[in-house]
Structure 1
């Protein structure tokens, strides 16, 4: 049996995605050209996400519609808040299946190039001052992405510690209140700042952060590797390795969609 392509959308995934999409009623008078099916357009968006291909080079023979159709639909769905809701729904399913571990979380940042510039870019200190952005990620204890943010490549990781914790959505899936705050957050030496430790404590979370100037071997690496693995899974999608979008909201849409797809793959493997 042929292995499904990363951009294939099976019935189970589509049953999760379709209810989240805004409904567009076709006009009775002057209806114009028939709207391309949302499912095929969604597959076209996934094709661009995974291959990194330019929108104008999207293969017409695959039936996804034109690159411009897919881009417009992505922009409209982004404005409607589809991707954060999809991520939240999948997180709730994982928690319902006891596959989400809030006992501790890990945070990290990963720089990427942004050749076309745009909002949330900056001169990257790790790439000879070239224009870049940075992905910031927080995962649960098993490596499931809970939230991600985008900044300029010149932003320090520690500045996103509080925004990442605040970006974790309320996750349902169990009786009682939704879970939002982890018990512990782990960070490397880039997050070593007493001011931010106090802010983390104020959120009811215990910070476990390596100290600068101390010898390596703190032991955090035996747990923090899950966030590095999550970055590897995210950047397996070529559209997230290099930021080609001038509009930051479109790149953030790809970033959130990438997090949601990691959740979906984990669900299908349970």
Structure 2
């Protein structure tokens, strides 16, 4: 059974393949062991991300766990995962339109049993190792930025680096941006930061009953991350650069899925699925 439907995995792979740099021959006579297909490695990475399987468990006669890790690191060094995510966001913005006038930010705690660079004692899991994702979405819940940190970090100090992810959109940012936050950000420092950045805000007040507002979209996005990608729900990677790459790949899948779902009723194309995703 495929980890993702063909309507998502095929366009994702075609764009990913176009970003892979051409590899020169390393042997003048060409008499070396044939290089394993990039498509095989890509499919293995998708299985690792979606199913949360260890590399050793997902390896078989087609490729080893070492080959998967080595090719993954090559692609990370080339910046392919981040570039893929950017292309997906630009495609969504061009066809559907991103709601960047309203940004929603929230933190999400997950388990990190193997520790690593982005792990810390989790305050909600008896001090066990955990990680935190500071996720930023547009007004419809499309992930547009994410910062990874230890579970012992407070949400508020992660606000600035999370908002700095907006630099990827450059001049296309609207003049007026409203940031929607929960009561964990209710502080003078948060308001001073948003004023410095020229943003408006809607922040829930501490000590008062739950004020949902439009914040539910980021909770849904956190659920997409954790329910759809087991590798993000239980983070066993130890290096931040690898976690960032997997988050970018997961975000690319989410954006393509939402793009197909929303364009299904307004557009027609040759590979359009028979049913709405």
1:99 Cα deviation (Å)? Answer: 3.1
Q: TM-score, normalised by structure 2?
A: 0.87
Q: Of residues 145, 159, 176 in structure 1, which corresponds to 2:143?
A: 145
Q: For each residue in 1:8-65, what CA deviation from the matched residue of structure 2 results, as whole angstroms up to 9, or x when unmatched? A: 564422222122222211224254211111122111100110111110111526x5x2
2: CA distance between counterparts of 1:59 and 1:120?
Answer: 26
* DSSP-derived class of the 1:146 partner: strand
Match of residue 227 from structure 1: 218
Change (3 A) 1:60 1:182: farther
Asked if 1:238 corresponds to 2:236, the answer is no
Change (3 A) 1:117 1:182: farther
Counterpart contact for 1:118–1:247, Cα < 8 Å: yes
Match of residue 257 from structure 1: 249
Q: For each residue in 1:63-101, what CA deviation from the matched residue of structure 2 results, as whole angstroms up to 9, or x when unmatched? A: 5x2222111111111122111111111111111013311
* DSSP-derived class of the 1:29 partner: coil
1:113 Cα deviation (Å)? Answer: 1.4
Counterpart contact for 2:139–2:217, Cα < 8 Å: yes
Consecutive unaligned residues of structure 1, counting only runs of 5 or more, are none
2: CA distance between counterparts of 1:52 and 1:156?
Answer: 27
Match of residue 154 from structure 2: 156
Match of residue 12 from structure 1: 11
Match of residue 209 from structure 2: 216
Counterpart contact for 2:96–2:259, Cα < 8 Å: no
Q: Of residues 180, 184, 187 in structure 1, which corresponds to 2:178?
A: 184
Asked if 1:27 corresponds to 2:49, the answer is no
Match of residue 49 from structure 2: 49
Consecutive unaligned residues of structure 2, counting only runs of 5 or more, are 264-277
1: CA distance between counterparts of 2:174 and 2:184?
Answer: 24
2: CA distance between counterparts of 1:25 and 1:95?
Answer: 35
Match of residue 130 from structure 2: 132
Q: For each residue in 1:189-221, what CA deviation from the matched residue of structure 2 results, as whole angstroms up to 9, or x when unmatched? A: 1111111211112112112111212x2153xx1
Change (3 A) 1:181 1:261: farther
2: CA distance between counterparts of 1:113 and 1:217?
Answer: 26
Change (3 A) 1:5 1:114: closer
What does 1:59-98 correspond to in 2, within 5 Å?
59-60=59-60, 63=62, 65-98=63-96
